[in-house]
Amino acid sequence: MSNTRTKAQVFDVVKNNILDILPKVQPEMVSIEKSLSDLGANSVDRMEVVTLSMEDLGVKIPLLSFAGVTNIEGLVDVLFNNAQ
């Protein structure tokens, strides 16, 4: 099933998972240039955001693909490029 998504849709999936996993984060605090660490996420939280986002998007990406990601935009880019 290959339904093409926009980057904005991928960002929305990531943002929803961030808000689920980090209850203290308000929606307006989540912006594309911030990192998950900026929002208070520890390594387990970050891994959960990644795995839940992959699940929601129906993609399997080697976790190594996220190694160089420094902010939410990088995360969205990796997910977007693999969700096509």
Give the pLDDT confidence of 67-76 residue by residue, as tens digits. Answer: 889 999 999 9
Give the pLDDT confidence of 19-33 residue by residue, as tens digits. Answer: 999 999 999 999 999
Give the pLDDT confidence of 2-20 residue by residue, as tens digits. Answer: 457 899 999 999 999 999 9
Q: Measuring CA to CA, which residue among 36, 54, 53, 35 is closest to residue 45?
A: 36
Average pLDDT (54-62) is 96
Query: pTM for this structure?
Result: 0.92
Separation of alpha carbons 49 and 53, rounded Å: 6
Contact criterion met (CB below 8 Å) for 17 and 49:
yes
Task: For each of the domains in the chain, give its residue range(s) and CATH number, in order of start.
Answer: 7-82 (1.10.1200.10)
